[in-house]
Amino acid sequence: KQEVTQIPAALSVPEGENLVLNCSFTDSAIYNLQWFRQDPGKGLTSLLLIQSSQREQTSGRLNASLDKSSGRSTLYIAASQPGDSATYLCAGRDYKLSFGAGTTVTVRA
């Protein structure tokens, strides 16, 4: 069974700082890895999908890397803004997603 761990559980930074969110998984046979954002009481918004043949994906201020050999993925958010405050979840999978518990980010204005 795929176990996914996210560190830290919570993070508070001043506006403008870069964010680094970590995700580790136990099964290196991970197929793809997907990062999501979740606002309180809401559903999940897909941020980035890294296919197993890729090492990273970028979208705007977001960059995610995947190292299957070490079982790790990292999400970087550059120049954080208060609107980035949310819970960020990573999920590894084949056809079904196995989620970490998330990192709750607070960006202080």
Q: Is 59 in the site for other proteins (CB under 8 A)?
A: no
Distance CA 73, CA 14 (A): 24
Closer of 17 and 93 to other proteins (Cβ): 93
Q: Which residues of 25-39 are buried (b: 16+ CB within 10 A; e: fewer)?
A: beeeebebbbbbbee
Q: Is 97 in the site for other proteins (CB under 8 A)?
A: yes
Torsion of CA 95, 28, 90, 43, to 10 degrees: 10
Q: Is 24 in the site for other proteins (CB under 8 A)?
A: no
Q: Count other C-beta atoms under 10 Å from residue 71's C-beta.
A: 18
Q: Which of 60, 69, 96, 109 binds other proteins (CB under 8 A)?
A: 96
Q: Is 83 in the site for other proteins (CB under 8 A)?
A: no
Residues of this chain that interact with other proteins (CB under 8 A) are: 4, 31-32, 34, 36, 41-46, 49, 51, 89, 91, 93, 95-102
